């Protein structure tokens, strides 16, 4: 089964991808994580991508495609954060045909609230926020390290990212509807309820 998760920034699609990966024992492929690793490692690709990411702009197709150039697994994976444009979707179709595209939908208002509340652990990378707050303010439940707010977790940047999403990624809805593989779930529900809803949709196409 080859699955694509769509969703606005902060929709929770990354969290859902990780939970589904464990439930299904699939490989989780996140272009966001791959990009952040490239930036952290200060690779040439990472340096190019960083300029776009810091402004809340989409990383160009050519860079993303280079990132995935090593190839996708043949089956049993969840693709998170790709495709983001029609060009990317067409490129993906040339490589492999997806079985289902799940759109984790949230309102812009919820997205903005989640953004300003999000905190990350400096040591283990755990993420906390509106839906999953830490037991103690600014302290990681798992390793007791300090939590911090990412520089791009602010209203100006998220509003810009939402605008870019609407312009460049929203057209994918019609693209995948025409292919007959699009479905939408409510991303504002409790996390575990969303997982179960996605699993039901996956079962329909197995």
Q: Catalytic positions, please? A: 13, 84, 118, 150, 161
Residue 161, preceding bond cis, omega within 30 degrees? Answer: no
Provide the 8-state DSSP code for 146: B
Length, in residues, of the chain: 206
Residue 195: which of 26, 16, 1, 24 has the closest Cα? 16
Interstrand relation of 100-105 and 2-6 (parallel, antiparallel or unpaired): parallel
Helical packing angle, 155-164 and 108-117, nearest 10°? 140
Contact between residue 15 and residue 194 where contact means Cβ atoms under 8 Å apart:
no
Give how far Cα 138 sits from Cα of 14, 118, 147, 185, Å. 22, 10, 5, 31
Sequence-ordered list of residues with C-beta below 8 angstroms from that of 30, at least 6 positions apart, any chain = 14, 17, 80, 81
- Residue 129: helix, strand or coil by DSSP? coil
């Amino acid at each position: 089964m080859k699955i694509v998760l769509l969703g606005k920034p902060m929709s929770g699609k990354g969290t859902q991808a990780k939970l589904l990966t464990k439930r299904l024992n699939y490989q989780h492929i996140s272009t966001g994580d791959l990009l952040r690793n490239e930036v952290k490692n200060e690779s040439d690709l990472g340096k190019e991508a960083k300029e776009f990411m810091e402004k809340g702009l989409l990383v160009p197709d050519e860079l993303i495609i280079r990132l995935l150039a090593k190839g996708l697994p043949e089956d049993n994976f969840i693709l998170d954060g790709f495709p983001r444009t029609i060009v990317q979707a067409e490129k993906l179709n040339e490589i492999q045909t997806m079985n289902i595209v799940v759109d984790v939908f949230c309102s812009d208002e919820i997205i903005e609230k989640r953004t300003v509340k999000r905190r990350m652990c400096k040591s283990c990378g755990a993420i906390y926020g509106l839906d999953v707050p830490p037991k103690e303010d600014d302290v990681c439940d798992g390793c007791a390290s300090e939590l911090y707010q990412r520089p791009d977790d602010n209203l100006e940047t998220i509003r810009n990212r939402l605008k870019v999403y609407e312009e460049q990624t929203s057209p994918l809805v019609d693209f995948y509807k025409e292919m007959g593989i699009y479905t939408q779930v409510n991303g504002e529900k409790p996390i575990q309820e969303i997982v179960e809803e996605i699993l039901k949709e996956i079962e329909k196409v197995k």
